[in-house]
Amino acid sequence: MITNKTGLVLSFSLVLGLQGCSPESAGPPSGPVWNVVDVQINLEDGFSVLLYHDMEGLSGQDDPNSFRYSEPEYLESGRDFLVADVNAVAAGLFDGGVTEVFIVDGHGSGNRSPDLDYDKLDPRIQPISREETFDAYTGLVDGSNYDAVGVVGMHAKTGSGGFASHTYTLGIGLELNGQSITETEFVALSWGRIGVPVIFASGDDKLQGDLQTMPWLKYARVKNATSASTADLLPLEEARKILTSQAKLAAESVLESKYLDLRLPVLGTVRVAPPADLALLENVPGIEYENNGVSFSAGSLMEFYDGARALIGVARQSYTGVLFENLRQHEDAGEIFPAYVDSLFLRWLDTESGDYTAPEPPSPPDDGRRHHGYN
């Protein structure tokens, strides 16, 4: 998951209204963050697995532009890397006894069409889509019939030194009781709400290290990160054999897997790094701010998630600083910035005079498209 998430820029009133945001009530509970619980799975009526795909932890991939929809490398190589890895994983799952494999977008590239090339997708794999956008990480849990979950092409967490490492989006880190978590662990906690385990993951060596918290999980390491933008690749044939063999092993050993049960209440923290920033909240009364992070207590996983997304919306406001840096280098900067200041001034005057009407948000085109996740 990386960009184009909706509904994140929320008001300060929501952030300040986070329950338990005061220092007095936000002390971390003692003990482990989650309980590790044995699964109870009945496979007599079939074995169904849901796969999430991201795009930063793919085999053959050592160019960050390959997962960016705006860049030519996305079409030239990124989509081919993605569908090949998904097909390799699905082949292993089917070989291991899985009877149904579903796939959902966990990336959010901004592409109105699926990142997956359905023309090249194994026809046994069933893509998930809906009439409206949905949160793939949390919105598929209720009423599902999946026996297990896997993640393909994932990345390490913010600050881990992995290839394109991040958590949720640029410069964001998420912590539970002071323990930083990966998106894969969040997926496990989300599905752990109904006792469904995550049994497989693929990505680089740094993510493999991050996921020592889930020792039952079968992991396919397809590259070794050397920085956020470079990696040493395993040969493609070897990497995809590993994807298939580890997925097969994950399916065969599913009854030995575990699920994560979040211990509540929990102290949640959003801790950020450039280009994100939360420093503007440092001196707000009632906000527990430390080391560019804001903490709050939560009584459920979804309460943590909603609070974290509100804070991420605030942290992302600093992205405009990068925009202004670029605009200052523009040849028309002498005209752009005065026009910007004038627009702010006139917006204030019009609002005070009662002459300003906020424009209606654009309606999505009624083109009958299906949504495959955040896009």
Beta pairing, strands 100-105 & 125-127: parallel
Whether the Cβ atoms of residue 104 and residue 144 lie closer than 8 Å to each other? no
Q: Which residues pair with 167 in a beta bridge?
A: 169
Q: Which amino acid is at 159?
A: G
**Residues 60, 84: Cα–Cα separation, whole Å:** 10
Across 76-85, 139-148, 200-209, 276-285, least confident range: 139-148
For the chain, how long is the longest CA-to-CA vector? 70
What is the rounded CA–CA span in Å between residue 14 and residue 106? 26
Secondary element (H or E) of residue 301: helix 301-315
pLDDT (tens digit per residue) in 32-58: 999 999 999 999 999 999 999 999 999
Residue 316's pLDDT is: 96
- The pLDDT score that the predictor gives to residue 48 is 98
Q: Sign (positive/negative) of CA torsion 217, 41, 182, 289?
A: negative
Q: Is 277 helix (H, G, I), strand (E, B) or coil?
A: coil
Among 18-32, 257-271, 336-350, where is mean pLDDT lowest? 18-32
Contacts (Cβ under 8 Å, ≥6 apart) of 236: 59, 60
65: pLDDT confidence band, cut at 50, 70 and 90?
very high
Domains of the chain: 12-30+266-316 (no CATH), 34-261 (3.40.50.10780), 320-352 (no CATH)
Structure tokens at 228: 């956020």
DSSP string, 135-153: -TTTTT-TT---SEEEEES
Q: pLDDT value at position 27?
A: 55
Q: Which of 4-13, 256-265, 270-279, 352-361 has the lowest mean pLDDT?
A: 4-13
Q: What value does the mean pLDDT take over residues 65-70?
A: 96
Name, of 136-140, 256-260, 325-329, the range with top average pLDDT: 256-260
Instruction: Give the amino acid at 102.
Output: F
pLDDT tens by residue, 174-212: 999 999 999 999 999 999 999 999 999 999 999 999 999
pLDDT band at 29 (very low <50, low <70, confident <90, very high): low
Token digits for 374? 């955040």
Question: Residue 19's pLDDT is what?
Answer: 42
90 vs 133, residue with greater confidence: 90
Give residue 210's pLDDT.
97
Distance in angstroms (rounded) separating the CA atoms of residues 351 and 19? 32
What digits encode the pLDDT tens for the residues 277-310? 999 999 999 999 999 999 999 999 999 999 999 9
Summarised one tens digit per residue, pLDDT across range 95-119 is 999 999 999 999 988 888 899 999 9
Share the mean pLDDT of the chain.
Answer: 91
Q: d(Cα 364, Cα 375) in Å, to the nearest integer?
A: 12
294 and 287 Cβ atoms separated by less than 8 Å? yes
Q: What is the C-alpha to C-alpha distance for residues 299 and 141, in angstroms, rounded to an integer?
A: 18
**Residue with token string 């979950």:** 149
Exposure class string for 37-63: b at 16+ Cβ within 10 A, else e: eebeeeeeeebbbbbbbbbbbbbbbeb
Q: CA–CA distance from 192 to each of 30, 104, 233, 298 (Å)?
A: 20, 18, 33, 17
Which helix (H) or strand (E) covers residue 225, if one does? strand 218-225
Whether the pLDDT of residue 1 is over 70: the answer is no
H or E segment and range at residue 307: helix 301-315
Tell me: pLDDT of 312 over 80: yes
Q: What is the pTM of this model?
A: 0.90
